[in-house]
A = this chain, B = another copy of it.
Amino acid sequence: MDLKKYIPSLQWLPYYNQTQLKGDLSAGITVGIMLIPQGMAYAMLAGLEPIHGLYAVTVPLVIYALFGSSRQLAVGPVAMVSLLTAAGISSLGPDSPEAYLLYALTLAFLVGAIQFFMGALRLGFVVNFLSHPVINGFTSAAAIIIGLSQVKHLLNISLPNSEHVQEMVVAIGQHIGDIHWLTFGLGVLGILIIKFGKKIHPALPAPLLAVALGILLVWGFGLTDKGVKIVGDVPGGLPALSFPSFDMSTWSTLLPIALTISLVGFAESFAVAKTIQAKHKNYRLDANQELVALGLSNFGAAFFSGYPVTGGFSRTAVNNQAGAKTTLASVISAGLILLTLLFFTGLFYYLPSAILAAVVLVAVAGLIDFKEPVNLWYKDKADFAMLIATFLITLTMGIETGIIMGMILSLLVVIYRASRPHMAQLGRVPGTKIYRNIRRFKDLEINKNLLIVRIDGPIYFANVEYIRDKMDLWLSERKNQTKMIIFNMESITSIDSTGAHALYEWIQTWRSDKIDVCITGTKGPIRDVLDKWKLIECIGADHMFMDDYSATAFFEQTLDTKSQEKYAPYALQSNAEKK
Contacts and interface: CB of A to CB of B under 8 A. Distances in A.
A376 B461 CA distance: 15
A229 interface: no
A417 B418 contact: yes
A5 interface: no
A509 B278 CA distance: 8
Main secondary structure of the interface of A (DSSP, over half): helix
Contacts of A542: none
5 A-B pairs closest in CB distance: A132-B498, A131-B461, A383-B497, A379-B532, A418-B418
Interface string A445-462: 000000000001110111
A443 interface: no
Given A132-B461, A422-B491, A440-B523, A382 B416 contact: no
Query: Quick one: which of A130, A287, A416, A461 has the most chain B CB within 10 A?
Result: A461
Contacts of A440: 523
How many copies of this protein are present in the complex? 2
Contacts of A347: none
Interface string A261-286: 00000000000000000100000000
A410 interface: yes
Contacts of A125: 415-416, 419, 465-466
Interface in A109-152: 123, 125-133
A111 to B, nearest CB: 19
Residue among A123, A132, A419 facing the most chain B CB atoms (10 A cut-off): A132
Given A440-B523, A496-B380, A496-B382, A287 B412 contact: no
A493 interface: yes
Given A410-B461, A440-B523, A497 B456 contact: no
A131 B434 contact: no
- Most chain B CB within 10 A, of A125, A421, A509, is at A125
A501 interface: yes
Given A131-B461, A278-B509, A417-B418, A126 B497 contact: no
Interface string A487-515: 00001011011101100010001000000
Contacts of A376: 497
18 contacts: A125-B416, A125-B419, A128-B465, A128-B466, A129-B415, A130-B461, A131-B461, A131-B462, A131-B496, A131-B498, A378-B532, A379-B532, A383-B496, A383-B497, A413-B461, A414-B418, A417-B462, A491-B491
A460 B417 contact: yes
A533 interface: yes
A132 B501 contact: yes
A497 B378 CA distance: 11
A225 B440 CA distance: 80
B379 A462 contact: no
Interface of A: 123, 125-133, 278, 287, 375-376, 378-380, 382-383, 410-419, 421-422, 434, 440, 456-458, 460-466, 491, 493-494, 496-498, 500-501, 505, 509, 523, 529, 532-533
A419 B505 CA distance: 28
A278 B131 CA distance: 38
A505 B275 CA distance: 10
Nearest to A126: B415
Contacts of A496: 131-132, 380, 382-383
B128 A415 contact: yes
A417 B132 contact: no
Contact of A128 (B382, B410, B462): B462
Nearest to A410: B461
Nearest to A134: B461
A533 B379 CA distance: 7
A126 to B, nearest CB: 6
Given A133-B497, A414-B414, 15 more contacts: A125-B419, A128-B462, A131-B460, A132-B461, A132-B496, A287-B465, A379-B500, A379-B529, A380-B496, A380-B497, A383-B498, A414-B462, A417-B462, A421-B457, A456-B493
